[in-house]
């Protein structure tokens, strides 16, 4: 399962690169059309949707590579055993938080889809595809964090077990 999640996360990361190009093209088109006094309605909103999708779909790959921003100045000064306990505790609490967040985002997506929620403006745009991207992104992020939590607990148990002898 870990390998499948890694492959999907890598594909999501590649997709995010392409989505960033799409977002840049949309913003350039928006800028040019505004300068020509014939703006295309809704293009800025669509680029925001692409930005949100890019952010959430790429977060699982970032976690897989363990490249999230961390402040480790304090933690690095701790003894290794205490550091591993703190790391495991943080991963466990993050996993629990993400599971709760996943259910909340899932409910919000379903509600948005069922109600046909749209962004108000001159061109109404449905929101549920973006909320689906958020849900999928958080789902894979949650699974990746759970996998990393298991790895952290294995490392912690190994370090605690080897230091007791």
pLDDT at 72: 79
Q: Does the pLDDT of residue 16 top 80, yes or no?
A: yes
Tally Cβ neighbours within 10 Å of residue 52: 16
What's the confidence (pLDDT) of residue 164?
Answer: 55
Question: Looking at 4-8, 12-16, 161-165, which range is the least confident one?
Answer: 161-165
Q: Please give the pLDDT value at position 163.
A: 59
Instruction: Tell me the per-residue pLDDT of 35-93, one tens digit each, with 9 for 90 and over.
Output: 999 999 999 899 999 999 999 999 999 999 988 887 778 888 999 999 999 999 999 99
Which carries the bigger pLDDT value, residue 62 or residue 161? 62
Percentage of the chain exceeding pLDDT 90 = 84
Residues facing residue 90 across a β-bridge: none
pLDDT at 130: 97
pTM of the model: 0.90
pLDDT bucket at 21, cuts 50 / 70 / 90: very high
Q: What is the pLDDT of residue 161?
A: 85
- What confidence category does residue 122 fall into, taking pLDDT thresholds of 50, 70 and 90? confident
Q: Is the CA virtual torsion 75, 78, 81, 85 positive or negative?
A: negative
> What's the chain's average pLDDT?
93
Domain boundaries, the chain: 2-163
Q: Can you read off the two tokens belonging to residue 73?
A: 């100045």
What number is the average pLDDT over the span 97-106?
98
pLDDT of 146 above 90? yes
Contact 156, 88 (CB under 8 A): yes
Per-residue CA distances from 75 to 79, 80, 87, 97, 153 (Å):
9, 9, 9, 21, 17
* Helix or strand holding residue 83 (H, E): helix 80-115
């Amino acid at each position: 399962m870990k390998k499948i999640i890694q492959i999907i996360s890598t594909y999501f990361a590649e997709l995010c690169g392409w989505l960033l190009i799409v977002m840049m093209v949309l913003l350039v088109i928006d800028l040019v059309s505004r300068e020509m006094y014939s703006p295309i309605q809704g293009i800025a909103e669509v680029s925001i949707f692409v930005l949100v999708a890019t952010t959430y779909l790429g977060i699982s790959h970032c976690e897989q590579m363990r490249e999230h921003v961390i402040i480790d100045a304090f933690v690095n000064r701790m003894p290794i055993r205490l550091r591993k306990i703190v790391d495991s505790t943080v991963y466990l609490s993050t996993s629990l938080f993400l599971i709760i967040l996943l259910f909340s985002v899932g409910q919000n997506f379903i509600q948005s889809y069922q109600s046909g929620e749209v962004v108000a403006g001159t061109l109404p745009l449905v929101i549920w595809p973006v909320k689906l991207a958020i849900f999928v992104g958080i789902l894979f992020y949650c699974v990746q964090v759970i996998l990393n939590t298991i790895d952290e607990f294995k490392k912690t148990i190994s370090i605690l077990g080897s230091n007791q002898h």
